[in-house]
Chains A and B, each alone.
Chain A
Amino acid sequence: MRTRPCPRALPWLLLVVVGACDVGDHTLDPDAAPIEPTADPRKVGLGGESLVADRPTDIALGDERLRIKPYGALQGEYERVLGAAPAGLAEAASSFGTSPPRSFLEPSVESGALRTAHDLALAGCDAYVADRAADFAGDAADAAAVCDELAAAFWSRPMLPEQRTACLEFAASVVTTAGDAAGWTRVCAAVLSSAGFLTY
């Protein structure tokens, strides 16, 4: 599966998983120069042809590496970040798709899986927010800290500026009072059902 660069601005990034993209990887070596095909004998075919001629030249080192997590990893992944897998995950295999036995299918995310991922995230975040009431005691004015901590917890990376802006705007629209558990659960679910968590 080839992933693609992330759009510059994704107002609904936190709600919509758009598929694997290259958030963050671009810092590895952005100035890496393409390596020209050489006469390296390890890269010469039986007929004398270059074996590297078909290599893409427009993918920088570290770019286009994020892949969708397979369904088989989600139980452990939800447990890793939430402490427990959300109810309903065991029945969600058909939404995400699985590899046939003794074979392999690169996971992809279709609209049904997006909906399921968000439903699972809501279920998981309901308990997550309830268990951490002190962390979600504030109102939308405290969204910056919450967004940052959710990204660290679920994505293991900081939000990009545009992602953070989207998180703050979403929190402002759904968190109506201090300690609004339902509102914070929606913010939590938006982060948990995004590409930051569903890719690796």
Chain B
Amino acid sequence: MLLASVALGGGCSGDTISSGTPDPDASPVAPPSELARERCAVRVGIALTGTAPDAELRAAEQPSDLAQLARLMQTDAFRDRFAGFVAAELNDGVSDASDVTYAIVRHVVASGLPWTEVFRGPFLVDEELAVHEDAQGLGYFREPLWLTHYAGSEPEGYMLRMAYRMLNNVLGVTRSIQVADAGAGMAGANVRESDPACRGCHFDEQYGLDRVANLLPQRTSAPAVAPATFSVEVPSAEGEVLFKSATADGLYPDGVLLRGDADLLDTMVESPQFTFHACRVVTTFLYGRAESTAEAAPFDACLDALTASGLITDAVAAIASHPTFCEQD
């Protein structure tokens, strides 16, 4: 019979996350049919590794259980696919900068380090994209290739492109240029602060770009010079009021005072917004899109797992092992 060519087996109803806590919001799932298990093996295998499910995954009673997910996440295929995905998500195209991101993400995943290390770990990436410990490193944000790519063209050397990219990468902040001639980049900081058309995004709103850039290294070379050169000294001794508004529960009071890029990153990665954004990246990796309101349960499982362990692989496992990840009959 035709069906003889289809190896059947496996399931897709993992019911716990790495913290060992069953999701109370998860709906009970009936035992999947053989076809559903085969579909689940295909979805899990391709979503995590980009390749067809191997024999072990297809033979597993539950293809999306934690043991299978852990096994797949130990493979080079997963590490390459996930690091490449994150590099593409966090950069503006394939470049030396995205290669640096790829290298550090892959290193953090392979080494079992907390996800925060991607953004503030003491790393240096060499020309072969090997990652080394270096106390001067700060995730990939002090890598010369990355700095050069996002040096920007602000006339006084403020790294506005870098500021935006950091906010986007760590917190998921997005901005679109609202002023027709903003791309010309010829307005100095005093103009951006005094011009109402600029002041909003650069100074007044949350995560004002100039407020962030004020904490970052400055470009000392002229705009559009390659390789760019930088000053490691921050433009001012300290920057104030990055996060202007108090949250309802008082997590961050007005007037947080920060000193330099490391202080900035410490504040950002300790925030709930960092964890939220990380889970949105993981959701997009696994779903091909961000989560909808109806998909809050697996997303919350991701938040719980990442908060508990700090490991991005646990975040991936939380969503992929959720009963809703695989298609049911």
Query: Which A residues are within 8 Å of any B CB, using their own CB?
Result: 1-3, 20, 24-25, 27-29, 32-36, 39, 41-49, 51-52, 54-62, 64-65, 67, 69-70, 72-77, 79-83, 99-106, 132, 135, 146, 149-150, 152-153, 156-158, 200
Interface residues of B in 127-173 (CB under 8 A from A): 129, 171-172
Which residues of chain B come closer than 8 Å to A83, judged between CB atoms? 5
Find out whether the CB atom of B6 lies under 8 angstroms from the CB atom of A153.
Answer: yes
Find out whether the CB atom of A61 lies under 8 angstroms from the CB atom of B2.
Answer: no
Interface-facing stretch out of B42-50, B216-224, B226-234: B42-50
Find out whether the CB atom of A43 lies under 8 angstroms from the CB atom of B328.
Answer: no
For A42, A46, A81, A146, the residue with the greatest tally of chain B CB atoms inside 10 Å of its CB is A46
Find out whether the CB atom of B84 lies under 8 angstroms from the CB atom of A28.
Answer: no
Report the Cα distance A47→B244, complex, angstroms: 7
Known: A76-B51, A103-B87. A156 touches B296 (CB 8 A): no
Report the Cα distance A62→B129, complex, angstroms: 38
- Interface residue from B51, B207, B275, B288 paired with A1 (Cβ < 8 Å): B288
Find out whether the CB atom of B245 lies under 8 angstroms from the CB atom of A42.
Answer: no
What secondary structure prevails in chain B residues at the interface with A? helix
Report the number of A-B residue pairs with Cβ-Cβ less than 8 Å.
Answer: 196
- Report the nearest A residue to B105, measured CB to CB: A102
Report the Cα distance A49→B245, complex, angstroms: 9
Known: A42-B272, A48-B247, A65-B287. A80 touches B88 (CB 8 A): no
CB distance from B119 to the nearest CB of A (A): 15
Interface residues of B in 285-326 (CB under 8 A from A): 287-296, 300, 303, 307, 324
CB distance from B253 to the nearest CB of A (A): 11
Find out whether the CB atom of B271 lies under 8 angstroms from the CB atom of A46.
Answer: yes
Q: Is B113 an interface position by the 8 A CB rule?
A: no
Report the Cα distance A51→B271, complex, angstroms: 12
Interface residues of B in 175-212 (CB under 8 A from A): 206-207
Q: Is B78 an interface position by the 8 A CB rule?
A: no
For B248, B249, B292, the residue with the greatest tally of chain A CB atoms inside 10 Å of its CB is B292
Interface residues of B in 23-72 (CB under 8 A from A): 27, 35-36, 38-39, 42-43, 45-47, 50-53, 58
21 example contacts (A-B, Cβ-Cβ < 8 A) are as follows A29-B27, A32-B294, A47-B206, A47-B244, A48-B247, A55-B290, A56-B293, A61-B324, A62-B327, A72-B51, A76-B53, A77-B52, A80-B7, A100-B94, A102-B98, A103-B84, A103-B98, A149-B3, A152-B35, A153-B2, A153-B6
Query: Which B residues are within 8 Å of any A CB, using their own CB?
Result: 1-3, 5-7, 27, 35-36, 38-39, 42-43, 45-47, 50-53, 58, 80-81, 83-85, 87-89, 94, 98-99, 102-103, 129, 171-172, 206-207, 243-249, 251-252, 268, 271-273, 275-276, 287-296, 300, 303, 307, 324, 327-329
Report the Cα distance A74→B247, complex, angstroms: 49
Known: A56-B292, A72-B50, A103-B87. A41 touches B272 (CB 8 A): yes
- Report the nearest A residue to B279, measured CB to CB: A42
Known: A62-B324, A65-B287, A200-B47. A153 touches B5 (CB 8 A): yes
Report the Cα distance A54→B289, complex, angstroms: 13
Find out whether the CB atom of B35 lies under 8 angstroms from the CB atom of A81.
Answer: no
Known: A61-B294, A61-B295. A152 touches B2 (CB 8 A): yes
Known: A44-B272, A46-B271, A153-B3. A28 touches B324 (CB 8 A): yes
Find out whether the CB atom of A156 lies under 8 angstroms from the CB atom of B42.
Answer: yes
Find out whether the CB atom of A104 lies under 8 angstroms from the CB atom of B85.
Answer: yes
Report the Cα distance A80→B238, complex, angstroms: 60
Find out whether the CB atom of A69 lies under 8 angstroms from the CB atom of B46.
Answer: yes
Find out whether the CB atom of B248 lies under 8 angstroms from the CB atom of A44.
Answer: yes
Report the Cα distance A9→B83, complex, angstroms: 40
Find out whether the CB atom of B328 lies under 8 angstroms from the CB atom of A99.
Answer: no
Which residues of chain B come closer than 8 Å to A2, judged between CB atoms? 288-289
Which residues of chain A come closer than 8 Å to B268, judged between CB atoms? 46
Other A-B pairs, 20, CB within 8 Å; known A47-B207, A59-B292: A27-B328, A28-B324, A39-B248, A42-B276, A47-B206, A47-B243, A47-B245, A49-B206, A56-B292, A60-B294, A70-B50, A72-B51, A75-B52, A79-B52, A80-B52, A146-B2, A156-B6, A156-B38, A200-B43, A200-B47
